[in-house]
Amino acid sequence: MTSPQQSAGREDSDLQVSDKPTSGRYTLLYRFILREFLQNFAVAFSFFFCIFFINSILLLVQRILLRNIDMLTMLEMVALSMPQFLIYTFPFASLAASSMVLGDLGSTNELLAIRSSGIAAGRVYRPLIAASIVLSFVNFYFADTVLPWTTMVYEERLSVLMQEMPTFEIEPNSVNTVGSIVLSNGASEGNEIHDIVLLSNEDGESRTVLSDRGTLDLIDSYNYIYSLELDKPQILITDPDDIGSYGLSSADSAVFYLDFSEQIPSLTSSSPVNLSSRDLIQRIRDRDPGEKEDMLRWHQRGEDAFLSLSAALKAAESGSGSPDTILEAAESAQAEIISRGDNPPRNFYSQYYKAELTKKFVLSAACFCLTLITLPLSMFRVKHGKLTGFAISLLIAVAYWYMLFGVQLGIFSISTSPYWLIALPDLVILLIAALLIMRFRKAR
């Protein structure tokens, strides 16, 4: 049997529980925010994808000399090269999507209505933060797994294509231009061509080669080097700056080597940019012993130079030894100290590998960091919320891009560890975001 006080307490407890927001209430809010984020993310992703696609792919595809490949193969090659700029698209798209969502909620007073219903603003931010964390992992997967794999497949596919067909389109009565080389030919059968006119401009000289017959063969499928064997060629060499200066020669046969390695852009390569984190870590470990030896030699040079200078100064104070000898020893030690420099030696490839390893994590974490800096945008009520949010995201994206580009240039000139240097853009964004969030929380 319960007392009246116990019954009243139970009724008060039930009333308090019923007044709390239910989980379903938050679920509805989370779905709404997440749906808005994904819709805006799709728009922003398409925008940044087109920018990187045009700048990184289309301009290079125009220079690709594999003209006889079919459309499906060309699309395959382009698709294999996409992951190298998708790792930049994800962070900027998440930044723009979050800015557009919060800008739209602020401009339509929806955020104010949500807060008026007793729901904290932090509940609005949770889906955005969760989505950005998921995108960070997705971006890291692309940078660390998809990109190295597509790079390997691309190189293998390109090597096969180059072996299957020459860079020049050898067709009867055709003219082909590759860089500074122009080849005109008459009849052709296989790799044998007739009535050859070869024009080239190298090292400030123009060369014209005439031959009745020749053969074109691929001799290096990796560097795309071809040999052109000519029968009874005639060679005319002229100076563009001096019309009256020329040289004419002939021979029974001649072999010309055509190097197309610089003319065929490799959209992806086995550079550190396209290696996995495991491969980068292994290469850093392989170079650690050499880097430590260089550091020890640098310190030893400094100690020896300072000891020599100290010995010269002591000899001068005590008066032992000739003044010329003492002066010569002091100048030699001083010159050694100056040539040694104040900054320790840095191994080029070790710095490069460390920077690229850090960049994989930095670009992945950028999805979260750039989303975090957009949260204070919800505190403002602006017109044209989505458009304003997108404009702000572009400014932040440009600033982040320049910071990342700047620190990459500084890894060889700044003595700071490349790990901290490459991480600087994310740290700056996080610091600014934290300061803004704390300021607006105090203002409320």
Give per-residue pLDDT as tens, 406-425: 888 888 777 778 889 999 99
Please report where in the chains the tokens 């610089």 appear, as a residue: 262
> Which backbone phi and psi does 406 adopt, to 5 degrees?
-65, -45
Q: How confident is residue 269, by pLDDT bands cut at 50, 70 and 90?
A: very low
Per domain, the residue ranges of the chain are 22-162+353-443, 174-259, 277-345
* pLDDT of 395 over the 90 cut: yes
Cβ neighbors of 48 (< 8 A, separation 6 or more) are 88, 89, 92, 93, 96
Of 366, 365, 155, 147, the closest CA to residue 272 belongs to 147
Residue 364: helix, strand or coil by DSSP? helix
Q: How confident is residue 55, by pLDDT bands cut at 50, 70 and 90?
A: low
Indicate left, alpha or beta for 230 from its phi (over 0: left) and psi (-120 to 50: alpha): beta
Lowest-pLDDT range of 103-107, 160-164, 248-252, 397-401: 160-164
Please report where in the chains the tokens 């509805």 appear, as a residue: 28
Q: Give the per-residue pLDDT at 423.
A: 92
| CB contact burial 282-291 (16+ within 10 A = b; e otherwise) | ebbeebeeeb
Please report where in the chains the tokens 């299957």 appear, as a residue: 164
Cα 164 to Cα 31: distance, rounded to the nearest angstrom: 53
Give the containing element (helix H, strand E) for 242: strand 242-250
C-alpha distances in Å from residue 132, one per residue of 91, 127, 402: 9, 8, 22
Cα 129 to Cα 102: distance, rounded to the nearest angstrom: 12
Cβ atoms of 411 and 347 within 8 Å: the answer is no
Residue with the bigger pLDDT between 240 and 283: it is 283
CB-count exposure of residue 249 (10 Å: 0-12, 13-18, 19+): exposed
List 174's β-bridge partners, or say none: 185
Give per-residue pLDDT as tens, 111-131: 777 777 777 778 888 999 999
Q: Give the per-residue pLDDT at 12.
A: 42
Q: Which two tokens stand for residue 60?
A: 């290079």
Residue 120: helix, strand or coil by DSSP? coil
Average pLDDT over residues 172-185: 75
Of the ranges 126-135, 152-161, 313-322, 403-412, which is most confident?
126-135
Q: Give the per-residue pLDDT at 58.
A: 63
Q: What is the number of residues in the chain?
A: 444
Residue 69: helix, strand or coil by DSSP? coil
C-alpha distances in Å from residue 441, one per residue of 93, 95, 121, 435: 27, 22, 11, 10
Give me the DSSP letters along 145-212. Answer: IIHHHHHHHHHHHHHHHHHHS-SS---TTEEEEETTEEEEES-EETTEEEEEEEEEEETTEEEEEEEE
CB-count exposure of residue 371 (10 Å: 0-12, 13-18, 19+): buried
Average pLDDT over residues 291-302: 76
Lowest-pLDDT range of 26-40, 159-173, 196-210, 235-249: 159-173
Q: Give the per-residue pLDDT at 13.
A: 39
Residue with the bigger pLDDT between 252 and 133: it is 133
Cα 175 to Cα 172: distance, rounded to the nearest angstrom: 9
Cβ neighbors of 419 (< 8 A, separation 6 or more) are 354, 358
Cβ atoms of 236 and 247 within 8 Å: the answer is yes
Helices 348-372 and 121-141, interaxial angle, to 10°? 150
Angle at 379 (CA atoms; ends 377, 384), nearest 5 degrees: 60
Alpha-helical runs (H) found in 319-347: 323-340
Cα 222 to Cα 91: distance, rounded to the nearest angstrom: 35
Of 173, 213, 210, the closest CA to residue 193 belongs to 213
